[in-house]
Structure 1
């Protein structure tokens, strides 16, 4: 894919995700706010008036708690979790939809939101796959250009085996370091996870497994120093680039595997042709010896004479075939008497 086309595809995908995030925000934010307010009022009223619980009151409490939990409403140390459907979080959710990560910690709860999410995914998933493949190919192309600068090419324009191995290894190792281990360190600082947990989250995310046991940007408001929205956008950008790198890695593996198959097929064909030629030569030798035996009357113990005669004849034929065209001066008399002038 050409560079201009690749840029257009990337811009279209980014615009599509942004528009999808805005639509999710419009469809889900008011409903989430309503559920949060109702849950907050219910809990305050419950704590104020209830001193003893019956079975019906307990079931109603559990129902309201579950509904509030689904919307992300949490009460911890007198703080309330931030909205899961604000502008930045909605874009982050749209990103998880088109990339098929689907952490599962939030989902649309309104009928229009569910319908839109289905239609959004039907178009967005193929669009993102095309975009990721295009970016991955560009990244791999840049890597191959770097290989050529560092290792050079052979005279026939191909790269050496060492250059190919080093280039592919460089692409994968650098990608793993920059897109899994470095983000793991950042998540360790921002999310107060261990380095193992941060790297684990990076790997689970970039492989689109998305268990949902760890999700970046879901802590309370005061833990992000007021820039939670920007932080989630940065995480979404990292996911975009990381999955594109994965596409490039898959392209590299496919290219290496295809070339290996072509090489194996070529070697097999060469061996098959050589074996067939050897079989034809052996068959011709047996037929020629049989003709000599019939013409000269040699058989049984006289087979050695036939073999010597055959060897002399094949040597003479080889010398004849190696002669230049129309070279009658260097042609032995025995050939000129038999055949005449050598023709090509």
Structure 2
């Protein structure tokens, strides 16, 4: 990739980051400020209603709640005592978020042994998972390529090749949207009790490996093992399909860039060729003119030499 293209991409990414920072700041800052005011109000009322509590005791209690929440504990009397975030099923689910680089962050190892084991486990697991996803994506991509060629042949008489490629990518994206986002989101709506827009938000955040961890499925599910196994399968298929879509879009944009560069170079060569031909024509005309002038001069000299003294 040329240095100018890299510089342009860096500039566009910087602009996109600045736009994102401005928009998120405008949307979230006011909400955060309101939450801070609400928290301070609740804290003040607690100290007023329970005068036996000191400010230090309340602060320590809040810190204990934050620590427990960061450790992944569900602070609900109905579930806090009889469930664990680190039983075998949950640990497998956590491992899947590690090797797929989703990294929800709702739980994380807090012991020295767990943190130490995570490093070599991720170093081996992430490439291994990447190879698996690449294999799944390659098979999906081969199937899509065959279908693309079939559709291009079928549509070649009606639309151009580029238009056919765009239509195929749209179909690919619609299939992904329906079967891996909208339908799973409806399942999350039914089983998790989330709103539909939150379910779609969660699906997108997961399949793009952003993985905020603000919403995690299977926390209160009675059939947690089977449910999370199904989610694990959804992870792998969805991530592979997303990789195929991104690869198709990247290939399409690269082809457009290559074709534009080739057309630019052809125009430049043609222009240089036209200038060269014009220069050669001008040079030939100039040589012909010079040759004519030389010929006239020679004829004049011959006529002068042939003149008689009387004539001269």
Q: One fold, TM greater than 0.5?
A: yes
Structure 1 residues 77 and 163, CA, compared in 2 at 3 Å: closer, same or farther? same
Structure 1 residues 153 and 265, CA, compared in 2 at 3 Å: closer, same or farther? farther
Q: How does 1:315-326 map to 2 (within 5 A)?
A: none
Give the distance between the partners of 1:68 and 1:273, measured in 2 at CA.
69
1:197 aligns with 2:193: no
Q: How does 1:117-128 map to 2 (within 5 A)?
A: 117-128=118-129
1:283 aligns with 2:284: no
Q: Tell me how many residue pairs correspond in the alignment.
A: 239
Cα deviation, 1:70-95, whole Å, max 9, x if unaligned, reads 25254434874522122221111001
What residue in structure 2 maps to residue 105 of structure 1?
106
Cα deviation, 1:195-237, whole Å, max 9, x if unaligned, reads 1111111011112222221110112xxxx3x421110111111
Is 1:73–1:80's contact at 8 Å kept on the other side of the alignment?
no
TM superposition shift of 1:163: 1.9
Give the distance between the partners of 1:63 and 1:291, measured in 2 at CA.
95
Q: 2:231 aligns with which of 219, 232, 235?
A: 235
What residue in structure 1 maps to residue 305 of structure 2?
none
Give the distance between the partners of 1:179 and 1:154, measured in 2 at CA.
27
Q: How does 1:64-143 map to 2 (within 5 A)?
A: 69=69, 70-72=71-73, 74-77=75-78, 80=81, 82-143=83-144
Cα deviation, 1:56-114, whole Å, max 9, x if unaligned, reads 98788777766654252544348745221222211110011112222121111322111
TM superposition shift of 1:251: 1.0
Is 2:152–2:165's contact at 8 Å kept on the other side of the alignment?
no
Structure 1 residues 250 and 78, CA, compared in 2 at 3 Å: closer, same or farther? closer
User: Is 134-143 or 246-255 further displaced after alignment?
Assistant: 134-143
What residue in structure 2 maps to residue 260 of structure 1?
256
Structure 2: runs of 5+ lacking an equivalent = 1-51, 295-312
TM-score (norm 2): 0.68
TM-score (norm 1): 0.62
Is 2:189–2:195's contact at 8 Å kept on the other side of the alignment?
yes
Is 2:104–2:216's contact at 8 Å kept on the other side of the alignment?
yes
**SS of residue paired to 1:76:** coil
Is 2:73–2:80's contact at 8 Å kept on the other side of the alignment?
no
Give the distance between the partners of 2:79 and 2:282, measured in 1 at CA.
100
Structure 1 residues 140 and 84, CA, compared in 2 at 3 Å: closer, same or farther? same
Give the distance between the partners of 2:79 and 2:236, measured in 1 at CA.
36
Is 2:101–2:126's contact at 8 Å kept on the other side of the alignment?
yes
What residue in structure 2 maps to residue 23 of structure 1?
none
**SS of residue paired to 1:152:** helix
Cα deviation, 1:281-323, whole Å, max 9, x if unaligned, reads 111111111122123349xxxxxxxxxxxxxxxxxxxxxxxxx
Is 2:176–2:241's contact at 8 Å kept on the other side of the alignment?
yes
Give the distance between the partners of 1:72 and 1:125, measured in 2 at CA.
27
Runs of 4 or more above 4 Å deviation: 52-69
